[in-house]
Amino acid sequence: MEEAPGSVRSVLMIVALSVHLGLCRGDPRITEVRLLCTEPRVNGSIVPDFAEVMREISVNVTSRGWGKSYLNSTVPPLYGLAQCHGDLNATDCLLCYAASRTRVPRCLPRPGRLYLDGCFIRYDEYEFYNETVDPVNDMVNCADANVTDQGGGGSMFANRVEMVLRNVTGKALAVRDRVGEEDMFGVDGIEGAYALAQCWSTLSLEQCKTCLRNASSLVKSCLPRAEGRAMNAGCFVRYSNQKFYSIPNGRGSLKLGTAIAVSLAAIAVASLLVVAAFLGYRTYSRAKQLRKGLLRLPTTVTKSNLYFKYETLEKATNFFDEKRKLGQGGAGSVYKGTLMNGKVVAVKRLVFNTRQWVDDFFNEVDLISGIQHKNLVSLLGCSIEGPESLLVYEYVPNGSLDQALFGEAKRKLTWEERIGIITGTAEGIAYLHGDCGIRIIHRDIKASNILLDKDLMAKVADFGLARCVAQDKSHLTTGIAGTLGYMAPEYLVRGQLTEKADVYAFGVLVLEIMSGRNSSVVAHGSFSLLQSVWMHHQSDDLISCVDPALWGEFPAVEAANVLRIGLLCAQASPKLRPSMSQVVRMLQDNGGEHPVPSPGQPPFLSPGCTQSFYETGMSSNTSNHTWGSQLQASGASSNGSL
Ligand SMILES: *[C@@H]1O[C@H](CO)[C@@H](O)[C@H](O)[C@H]1NC(C)=O
Ligand SMILES: *[C@@H]1O[C@H](CO)[C@@H](O)[C@H](O)[C@H]1NC(C)=O
Ligand SMILES: *[C@@H]1O[C@H](CO)[C@@H](O)[C@H](O)[C@H]1NC(C)=O
Ligand SMILES: *[C@@H]1O[C@H](CO)[C@@H](O)[C@H](O)[C@H]1NC(C)=O
Ligand SMILES: *[C@@H]1O[C@H](CO)[C@@H](O)[C@H](O)[C@H]1NC(C)=O
Ligand SMILES: *[C@@H]1O[C@H](CO)[C@@H](O)[C@H](O)[C@H]1NC(C)=O
Ligand SMILES: *[C@@H]1O[C@H](CO)[C@@H](O)[C@H](O)[C@H]1NC(C)=O
Ligand SMILES: *[C@@H]1O[C@H](CO)[C@@H](O)[C@H](O)[C@H]1NC(C)=O
């Protein structure tokens, strides 16, 4: 019963997020085709050397699209190779490498190779650089679908595929003569048949020929399937009925000057790394600086000196071990890490496989590195010189509020603990809303974003969606981010964002904490949390909303006041909601001389209704029997007040 609203909610959440982040279809070809972990030949651990070798490689991948590096003084030795396909430009190559670099360690401590659609990465204990075919591990991957005959018949397609495969092989083997680079790559397409061939640049031309011959005949075994990929030890061949490659001016833009010029315009981090690589390429001392991670960063970050090395964090989290995963948020997954000095931290992993992530990352670092408050999770540092961006936060030991309230390992929160959490959260948000000198709208206040420290003090987390709002009183956001059920009606429907959207979400949160009920879960035939609290308010019986798990052990007048504050905050019209600093005063003054005013408006939308409202393109929806009339009425009233 509880599944349906949850799953609809998460689907909508994904929709909302994709809108927010921009769909990333034109992005680097990071689809995983094959991860292969092989058995080690030697006993011993390659884990400690892994990060070192990969870091060396990343410099060369950034500057020219491929790199190799090895440590052969260790036991066992470790050899690494990474290569982008020739049609990726510098930016996409870097992003593909970053994705492969973070996924291939899943094999550790065994050797691994990973074929993505745009790049290849491998590490092993022996020197495999001149391997062409591997009878044990090479494989072909064929699509399920056959090519749809368009009059010509499947054999026509097969003929064309054979021709383009011949063509791309020819191009891959010819390029070296033309350009004088180790660029054994070719793409071609004829009338609905497209192909790509790529040898790893460590092969000789003769070895490349061996590999491509083998791989093209292997991949032909896929015909008449619409698509096939041959993954050999030394090369990659793919054909498809869809054009899957870019116009191969990619190598051109990998030439350093161009790469810098273009990337600077494109995105912040990638260009930073390219520039860094360029400098490193030019002068050795600069290269050494790069390895130390001394990149140019926003001054707020450099000043605060918050650097962590990627390898340090990788080790601290045991290569992002699933067992150390604390949670998965909209902006990335979070892992528990133990630093060398024993300090425990939370590491948030922002895999920047879309360009938008990069911006989000800088926003986050820029924004929160200066903010310190007892009720806000503090940022300890970041890492950007590695293959992905990481944020390091203080570790908050007691998990999140939603686990405490609704999770399987529910803890019994007492009245005092609940009030403490509500007050702390209010203070944290009030601080974001202006006490720190800048206006920050959190946008995603919800139970899973409130963490509890060892004394169960609330700490507001995840500023991933936060944006600094300068002078604008209110502005329209380009994409809607946030969690349904907590989203203020004016934000949900019109994308209008002010602090009052946070106040609304806080109001919902208060009602959840007081009642022990999840606002986004509505059992069939019963009322949503907001509906039922509002009804009890109207019948002057708020006390019966309080969580039965408290067994009546709470002061009745105060409890009713706190619930009333929750309702005040969640009123449909933003104007009627109090500010967070007013809320803090009301909470601190609970039972004192200033009585809590009575909320005049119901919460605007129930979660069930919100969904249908959202799905029908945000037009008013009268088909919802229970709430149709109220929705229109409230819609009108909020129209008037906006
Ligand atoms: C690796 O070590 C284990 C025991 O430590 C041993 O049983 C095994 O034979 C060794 N394998 C190789 C390849 O040396
Ligand atoms: C790879 O990068 C290193 C710098 O880390 C550089 O010294 C080396 O020359 C590069 N390799 C090649 C083959 O260019
Ligand atoms: C390591 O590699 C270098 C260069 O390939 C070679 O000269 C050296 O002998 C190797 N060392 C070991 C221990 O294999
Ligand atoms: C390259 O491959 C050949 C076998 O094809 C092998 O004998 C040789 O040692 C390899 N070269 C290197 C440098 O590993
Ligand atoms: C490709 O190479 C493998 C390994 O040497 C071999 O078994 C296979 O027959 C070759 N396939 C073709 C089509 O050449
Ligand atoms: C594709 O065609 C082959 C024979 O040409 C047939 O065996 C297979 O079932 C077809 N696959 C699909 C998905 O239609
Ligand atoms: C590549 O394909 C074209 C047809 O699009 C053909 O005319 C040309 O001869 C082919 N080139 C090679 C090297 O096979
Ligand atoms: C790189 O290629 C992608 C996809 O082809 C494109 O969207 C992007 O704008 C390109 N970036 C640069 C810097 O050229």
Lowest mean pLDDT among 86-100, 127-141, 285-299: 285-299
Other beta carbons less than 10 A from residue 581's beta carbon: 16
Domains by residue range for the chain, with CATH: 32-129 (3.30.430.20), 155-245 (3.30.430.20), 295-395 (3.30.200.20), 398-635 (1.10.510.10)
pLDDT attached to residue 273: 34
* Cα–Cα distance, 175 to 170 (Å, whole number): 9
* Cα–Cα distance, 364 to 465 (Å, whole number): 8
Is pLDDT above 60 for 459? Answer: yes
Q: Summarize pLDDT for 336-351 with one digit per residue, the tens.
A: 999 989 999 999 887 5
Cis peptide before 40 (omega within 30 of 0): no
Q: What is the mean pLDDT of the chain?
A: 73
| Contact by Cβ (8 Å): 189, 241 | no
* 640 φ/ψ angles, rounded to the nearest 5 degrees: -65, -35
* Cα–Cα distance, 25 to 353 (Å, whole number): 11
The ligand 5 atom at the shortest distance from the C-alpha of residue 218 is 13
Ligand 6 mutation target, pool 146, 220, 221, most atoms within 8 A of CB: 146
* Cα–Cα distance, 469 to 440 (Å, whole number): 6
CA of 347 to the centre of ligand 8 (A): 30
Tokens of 163: 């021709």
pLDDT attached to residue 608: 39
Ligand 8 pocket, CB under 6 A: 26, 89, 91-92, 246, 253, 262-263, 266
141 lines ligand 7 (CB under 6 A): no
pLDDT attached to residue 419: 94
Q: Whose CA is nearest to atom 1 of ligand 3?
A: 72
Q: Summarize pLDDT for 330-387 with one digit per residue, the tens.
A: 567 899 999 989 999 999 887 554 445 555 555 566 666 667 889 998 888 878 666 6
Query: b/e string for 510-538 if b means 16 or more Cβ within 10 A?
Result: bbbbbbbbbbbbbeeeeebbbbbbbebbe
The pLDDT of 126-136, averaged and rounded, is 93
Ligand nearest the Cα of residue 168 is: 7
* Cα–Cα distance, 360 to 331 (Å, whole number): 8
* Cα–Cα distance, 168 to 166 (Å, whole number): 6
Q: Summarize pLDDT for 12-28 with one digit per residue, the tens.
A: 232 222 222 222 334 45
Confidence class of residue 128 from pLDDT cuts 50, 70 and 90? very high
* Cα–Cα distance, 238 to 241 (Å, whole number): 11
Distances 76 to 49, 66, 68, 549 between C-alpha atoms, Å: 10, 24, 17, 58
The pLDDT of 503-507, averaged and rounded, is 94
Which member of 360, 444, 502, 547 is catalytic?
444
The pLDDT of 568-582, averaged and rounded, is 91
pLDDT attached to residue 223: 87
Grouping H, G, I as helix, E, B as strand and the rest as coil, residue 139 is strand
49 is catalytic: no
